[in-house]
Structure formats: C-alpha cells, structure tokens
Amino acid sequence: MAAKPLALVAPYPRALWMVMTDDTRARLESKLELVIHEHEPMPDALLEAHLPEASFLVGKIPLPAERLARARKLQAVINVEGNWRPDIDYAECERRRIPVLSAAPAMAPAVAEMALGMAIDLARGITPADRAFRSGEERFGILGNLESFLLRGKPMGLIGFGNLGRELLPLLRPFGGRIRVHDPWLPDGLLAEAGVEPAPLDTVLAESKLLFILAGATSENEGFLGAAELDRIREDAAVVFVSRAEVVDFDAFVERARAGRFRAAIDVFPEEPVPKDHPIRDAEEILLSAHRAGGLRESYQRIAEMLADDVELILEGLPPQRLQRAQARTASVARSK
C-alpha cells in the first residue's frame, strides 16, 4: 500500500480545535499522514525534516523561495488565519501552480452580522440607552429617540468589496437604501453586476448615512483614510469599522468620533490587545469591540469544514473551491496583521 501524502500542521496562534473538528480530523487522517505541532510555531528542525515529503502545509509557516525549493511534493499551502502573510513567496507558488489558500471566507459571515448589529446600535442608540437606564437617567419614548434614525431607506456606503462586503450586502438589501461601493481593485462592471453602485471614495464618504469600512490593508493603501478623507464623512453618519486598523489614520478617526463629527463603532485596533491604560477605553462616544466580530465557534467550524473539503478536492486532482486562493499580485502587497 502506498504511503499517504504528508501534511504538516502548525496552527499557532490558533489552537488545533479552531481548524480541525473531530470529524474533519478523521476525514483528513483517512487520506493523509498528519504531523501536528501545537501551541507555538513549528520548530525549523521539525519542519525541515519533513518538508521534502510534505504535500500540504497548514498554518503559519514562512515560505521563502529557498524553502519552497525543498518542498518538492508540495500541493497546497493553507493559511488558517484570515490574511495574506508577507513571508510567503506567492510568485514562486504561482509559478509552480501551488495554491495558497486563506480561511478568510470562513470568518466573513460572522463579521458581516456583527457589522449590521453595530450599525443598528449606532442608529438606535442601544448602548447609550442601556447605560442611561442603569444610571437612572433614561428617557422614555420619543424623548429617548431624539437622535435615533431608521436604517430603512438610508444611503449606505461600503469601502471595500471583498469577502466582508459580499457577505454584508444581502444583509443590507432589505433596508432598501441606495448602496454605493468604492473598491479600486474591482471593475465597475463587476460591482454593477452585484447590484451596487460603483462610486469614487469622496462620494461614498460624503453621501453615506451608514458607512462601512471593510477594506483590507496593503502596502499601497496604508492610512488612505487620513484626516482629510475623514473630514469628508457627512456629519450625521454612522461609521462601522471592522476590517483592518492600518487603513485609517486611527488617532484622527478616534478624535473625530469623540468630538461627535460622526458616530462610530470599532472592532479593530493598531495594537492588540489594546493597552489597559489606552485613552480609547474612556471613549463612551464610540461603540467598542475587542476584534471579536469573526471569532465565533461557528466560524472555526467553517474553517475546519472548508479546509477538509479543499484538501479532498486537491487530492482528487481538482481545484480548491471553498477557501480563498491567493493571487500573487494582490497577496504580495497585503499587510494585514
């Protein structure tokens, strides 16, 4: 009997349970020999000992060209996080037709639902009303809603239309508002086919009552939402920020939200964990969340299922269908943490 193909599995900083359920591990072990190293990065000695025979690399494993040259049997690289890491030679993988896959699509539904929940909270003042009630300062009926508004019929803007935007769109459609999208990496025709209105960044900023910042970070767009851009956001807007902190001038964003220039909800931060003494912890004007939008057990279940499905397809000589495949041009400039 021929030996099973080998998979090196190093999920850190994720735990193994986040990327393999009992069922999906059994599926994989029926077809693969698994070498698993948990709780820390895989030591170079262990990696190099198995690399020439490895068909799959799963986890956070640096892959410069010289290391890829030693991975003679490699069939796929699977990143169980939701980003494109800069320590992989994507061009070499593409040249060798080795798919580099990301678990980002598994997290997107949960992030999209959280983004909608944050938008509703900002529009209806749910969190401030809760705080007021607990302190005995509540206002009933219309007096408690003087600054609230309906999402229904309001113009909405999405900055970025990747995994998050595509998952969020069907959640926004029932509200019936005009939906504009700015994504410089996508052609207008594709956006139009998705049923959204392609628009310049200035238009999305100035016209959106509900604004969702969904763009991933790259070496080309770091801080592209600077002070000048933030000042173009309409003053009665509600802004939901759930993508990557690197795409904005974060201090300027917080300053304007605290000053009441716009309402804001934030799930991502330049430094995580956020220091205990960081002044943003006192910013009651902002709805805060500790980068938890995608971190549901259901999301990790999806990672496990998508990973097993795509490995089985690749072993059958078929292209992967569920995880997101890297394109060398775009993945090589990604800078998300």
CATH number at residue 27: 3.40.50.720
Number of domains in the chain: 2
Tell whether 282 and 301 lie within a shared domain.
Answer: no
Rounded to a whole number of angstroms, the distance between the first and last alpha carbons of the chain is: 43
Q: Find out whether 234 and 208 touch, Cβ atoms under 8 Å.
A: yes
Per the listing, tokens 């599926």 go with: 27
Q: Find out whether 51 and 42 touch, Cβ atoms under 8 Å.
A: no
Tell whether 59 and 123 lie within a shared domain.
Answer: no
Tell whether 149 and 238 lie within a shared domain.
Answer: yes
Tell whether 187 and 276 lie within a shared domain.
Answer: yes
Three-class HEC string of 249-274 = CHHHHHHHHHCCCCEEEECCCCCCCC
Residue 336 lies in a domain: no
Tell whether 248 and 148 lie within a shared domain.
Answer: yes
What is the H or E stretch that residue 115 is in? helix 104-124
pLDDT tens track, the chain, 337 positions: 568 999 999 999 999 999 999 999 999 999 999 999 999 999 999 999 999 999 999 999 999 999 999 999 999 999 998 888 889 999 999 999 999 999 999 999 999 999 999 999 999 999 999 999 999 999 999 999 999 999 999 999 999 999 999 999 999 999 999 999 999 999 999 999 999 999 999 999 999 999 999 998 887 888 999 999 999 999 999 999 999 999 999 999 999 999 999 999 999 999 999 999 999 999 999 999 999 999 999 999 999 999 999 999 999 999 999 999 998 878 777 666 5
Tell whether 228 and 111 lie within a shared domain.
Answer: yes
What residues contact residue 261 under an 8 Å CB cut-off, 6+ apart? 230, 231, 233, 235
Tell whether 145 and 281 lie within a shared domain.
Answer: yes
> From CA 43, how far away is CA 17, in angstroms rounded?
20
Taking the model in full, what pTM does it have? 0.94
Residue 164 lies in a domain: yes
For the sheet with 197-198, list strands across it: 197-198, 179-182, 156-159, 210-213, 238-241, 263-266, 286-288
Token pair recorded at residue 258:
């605290």
Per the listing, tokens 């037709």 go with: 97
Residue 169 phi, psi (nearest 5)? -55, -50
